[in-house]
A and B are shown apart, each in its own frame.
Chain A
Amino acid sequence: MDRRFDQELDDLRQDLLKMGGAVEESIAQAVRALVERDDAWVEEVIRGGKRIDDWEIKIEEVCLTLMARHGPVAGDLRLLTTVLKINDDLERINDQAVNIAQRAQVLNTMTLLKPLIDIPRMAELAQSMVKDALDAFVRRDVALAKSVGRRDEQLDQLRDQIFRELLTYMHGAMGRPDTIDRAIYLILVARHLERVGDNASNIAENVAYLVNGRIVRHQKAHWWEDRPISDSI
């Protein structure tokens, strides 16, 4: 059925995906600023971050307008609330990217504490989660969304591993302030990446609600599979 409302919903979805793409890009740039020790990426991330903030406001406004004017119910209602929430999560992910870039800027003024191994792995995992969450949204793929949730646990483990490692460095670096500085900055980066993962799994949970109409947050795992909505007729 060809309706203006459907067209507007579609435009909104496209805008959200574009924003998602920009956010993914931001994370990638922030990680490169850290790994390649190149301040040029930092500038990129901050500049892109501003644009994403504007984007976020625009999408929220569109959502509110559509709600006020169309009084959406059922699938439309779920889509609009989901877009609102994903919009929020993407904005936070973007904030994390900016944070990482800023930490990278400081770290780049110092020598490396150690070669970065786990942080790039974390970054890669977090990026894949964001990407898959958005793909799940596009494809209404609950299984993919659920896999994002599982990867969040891996991400948490990686972060814990990095914390432990850096703590031992700090213990062994008694009286060497620059070591502690560098370790703390790396811990912060790990924490930022972990938060990116959290937001990505929030997105995934919202996708499950969008598709199945069930709020899976804080629920048992099998809720992900329940499909009360029938496709028959």
Chain B
Amino acid sequence: MNVKFWRSGDPFIWLTGSALAFCLLMITGLVGIILYNGLGVFWPSSLERIQLRTGERVMGKTVDRQSIPDKAELFRIQLKVGNRDAYGLDFRWLDEADIESRDRPGEAVVFERLEWGDAYGVIERIVEGDAVLAVGAEGGWEALQPLLDESARRWGVIHAIEDDEMGQINREMEALRREKQMLERAGADSARVAELAARNRGLWNQYEAVSDRLNAVRSENERAEVLLALADGQVRRIRVADIVRAYQPNALGMGGKLAVYLDKGWEFIAGQPRESNTEGGIFPALFGTVMMVMLMSLAAVPFGILAALYLREYARQGFLVRLVRIAVNNLAGVPSIVFGMFGLGFFVYGVGGSIDRLFYAESLPTPTYGTGGILWASLTLALLTVPVVIVATEEALAAVPRELREGALGLGSTKFQMIWNVVLPSALPGILTGVILATARGAGEVAPLMITGVVKLAPDLPLDAYWPFFHLERKFMHLGFHIYDVGFQSPNVEAARPMVYTTALLLLLIVLVLNLTAIVVRNRLRRRYAGSAF
């Protein structure tokens, strides 16, 4: 009986089945935790006003509830009380036993601010300069809306002045400075230098004028203020211009909450980061990641495919080729940080330093290409993914049936015609799958980027509307590094936690989209090229 049981193979089925179940559990656990924590971040949950037995009153959003150690039947809640400017801390733990009553006042508002995090309270009045515009929660909320719109418009003006007009003047001054340096180095041409100085003065005057306009708009923007009564009774003045978003979570219906949710989600994807990356959007990181992946693919894919073609189709299959193949396979397994070091040493200091000495000598000692940048980061990652592309391409080429090659040769093809017309189209699905998987791996890689060009904040995108459009020397932001930075290097780790999960979710989504694309592309091509019959 016992022997029969073992011989029947049932235990093996159980073993394999449980291994699979374990893997599935781990994966669903990972995805589940990220989904659970990431998706809820933007939901405008209710504000609770809590009356404590001590007589103190607090207001905030419940974010966690856990049992108190040693007193299993008792629970405490973690409340996000906001108003960091007033309390110094965002979060507060409360024992449920201390709570006398809880309610959700409809007039409670949430202000998301440019600084100091969220503010929770009840509007007392709205003032503009010395004039009182409105008093009371209801009237105040009504009066606030046009002020918010006006503020948003002024911010638009401010950004336009800063980015376009002042940016333009800055660029021109920079160009003048470089020309001046070059002239000085080449030997003085005093007339020209004087002319440059004059133009520089003109630019300065322009700058002053623009700067005055900017200050005017700014001070205009600073006049409207909200007087917000906090739960404990103190009243804080908050500039309307500092308010990014205002809503009354307890008064919102499902539709209203959804609107706020989507608005915040959109800000997350398309907006700039605020408050040392813990608030606002991650657009620069998203953009940097995508652009870096594109540059990397542009460099890795053609080289990888061409190298694999030579290795598989042209090279004489001997000892040397076997050696190269082993080397390539091993290269695919080298830890990525090693590639990062190589990138820093070779690309940044070596190639970049030489470029600077040859073409950007006038800016030295400030490096242009001789420091980390998106180009060097992309090339480093390309180096990392090239072996994967080579291996995948070689395998795809090897899988093309010999009959197909002989069929092409038998009709009088040259070797090139055979490869171009028959072998490559047949191998394409496999090649593309490998390329996209390699790209996905590159997209998720962080370590080598940290030393070749990624920074925690780089508001200037490497691609913009100013000549030469591609600024490959610029440092950039990256989702993976963003997670690391926000989650573990931020001064306010607790407040940044939701950001970490949402960013991780986004990174996961990008990888998922890449892999799905790989599968769809492969299946479509396979349908087109797959052998049938037999």
> Do A and B share a direct contact in the complex (Cβ within 8 angstroms)?
no
Which A positions have Cβ atoms within 8 angstroms of B?
A: none
Which B positions have Cβ atoms within 8 angstroms of A?
A: none
